Amino acid sequence: MNGYSCNSQHVIRNPNLSSSYKQRVRYSILESVKTQKLREENNEILINFEAYQKWRHDSPLKSKVALFNKVADKHVQGQAVNPFSNGQKAGSLAKPNISREDYGKPPKGSLSELRAFKATIHVSREMMELCDVINQCGERLFSEKEKPDDPRMVISFGELFAIYTAISDKVVGILLRARKYKFVDFEGECLFQRRDDHVPIILLRPIKEIRQILNDRINEAMKAIKESEAGENFS
């Protein structure tokens, strides 16, 4: 371009050439300069556009917007089947058909169901540990001479509280849950430290049977968690 400009300037300054020819040379120079500038501007615009496209594709804002839209769509779908929402679709919904087995349970495949399975595993392990403590630290409810076939063990609440609080601070809650499954029994709706230290806690079943029942519950919950996670990864 520099060589072309120098030659053009030499042509323009040549006194032997006509003015019309010099005018055409000047016009050609201006057009070439404009074309070159326009080409450079277009290249710069193209480079900036490609950089913008790459930034837009890799921008964390895009992923956040996509996540927000996903949550918003899920909320709209949930409100569409919610009979208590103000949406127009809620009034035309069919009456849900819920079986007795599924009543009061979270929807299958939901995060609530996953949390319920994890809670089942945690509580089952705590009940098993509590029953183990009663079996190891308690004594037989009846001697072998009195009732040789009676496997029940007994321990006072005060002694159990002193031992088990080193493991967990939920002694009363786990006792209530274990009584619900008929693993243990005691008098009263609830137990309080010092006031009920004398209350006997009776282990109703052999520890081997209790372990079998709770291990089955734990294995079923773990299997359900794996199936739920596999289904989520597949989708």
Q: Is 43 helix (H, G, I), strand (E, B) or coil?
A: helix
| Same domain membership, residue 128 and residue 226 | yes
Q: Tens digit of pLDDT for each residue in 188-200?
A: 888 888 899 999 9
| Chosen domain end from 36, 54, 72 | 54
Which of 12-16, 81-85, 114-118 has the lowest average pLDDT?
Answer: 12-16
Question: pLDDT band at 90, cuts 50/70/90?
Answer: low
Residue, of 212 and 18, whose pLDDT is higher: 212
| Same domain membership, residue 229 and residue 134 | yes
Alpha carbon of 224 to those of 93, 98, 105, 118: distances in Å?
30, 20, 14, 10
| Same domain membership, residue 204 and residue 122 | yes
What pLDDT was estimated at residue 209? 95
Q: Tens digit of pLDDT for each residue in 203-217?
A: 999 999 999 999 999
Residue 169 belongs to a domain with what CATH number?
1.10.10.1540
Q: Are strands 139-140 and 184-185 parallel, antiparallel or unpaired?
A: unpaired
pTM of the model: 0.58
In a domain, 221, yes or no: yes
Q: Residue 184: what are its φ and ψ, rounded to 5°?
A: -135, 170
**Considering its fold, how many domains does the chain have in total?**
2
Nearest CA among 161, 164, 210, 159 for reference residue 184: 210
Which domain range does residue 134 map to? 112-234
In a domain, 189, yes or no: yes
| Chosen domain end from 54, 75, 97 | 54
Amino acid making up residue 135: N
